[in-house]
Amino acid sequence: MSNRAIQNLFACYSEQLKNTKQSLKNLKAIDALTHCRTRALGASYYRCKLNHAEIEQLHSCRHRSCYVCAHKQRLDWVERQKARLLNVPHFHVIFTLPHEYLPLSVSVN
């Protein structure tokens, strides 16, 4: 078993998940995360020119929901969000307006 909790959960409950109705998008995500960096997706093998021990590199799923594969994109997104912040002390507040006020909303980019 790997040390990735979601992958372990999907692997342990794969039979139950197969018997539940899921959208195609969810099925693809579950399959990708379950098999990420396992032999099911294949592997590449590398050896240096001096013929030392071979290194096995398991292939990743590259799915956007995969914690391991999407890590770089997540870090890049966080940095972009930080760049948008004002360089002053402030508080971030989120609130919800009634649906009737949606036409009055202004998109800030």
Q: Is residue 70 included in any domain, yes or no?
A: yes
Q: Is residue 94 included in any domain, yes or no?
A: yes
pTM of the model: 0.59
B/e letters for 23-40, b = 16+ CB within 10 Å, e = fewer, are eeeeeebbbbbbbbbbee
Which pLDDT tens digit goes with each residue over 88-104? 988 889 988 888 888 88
Whether residue 24 has pLDDT greater than 60: yes
Which pLDDT tens digit goes with each residue over 68-87? 888 888 999 999 999 998 88
Average pLDDT value over all residues in the chain: 87
Q: Is residue 109 included in any domain, yes or no?
A: no
Q: How many domains does the chain have?
A: 1
Q: Is residue 87 included in any domain, yes or no?
A: yes
Q: Is residue 17 included in any domain, yes or no?
A: yes
Single out the residue of 18, 63, 56 nearest to residue 36, CA to CA. Answer: 63
Q: Is residue 84 included in any domain, yes or no?
A: yes
Let me know how many helices (H) and strands (E) the chain has, helices first: 4, 2
3-class SS of residue 80: helix
Are residues 29 and 17 in contact, defined by beta-carbon separation less than 8 angstroms? no
Range of the domain at 13: 5-104
Q: Is residue 14 included in any domain, yes or no?
A: yes
Q: Is residue 19 included in any domain, yes or no?
A: yes
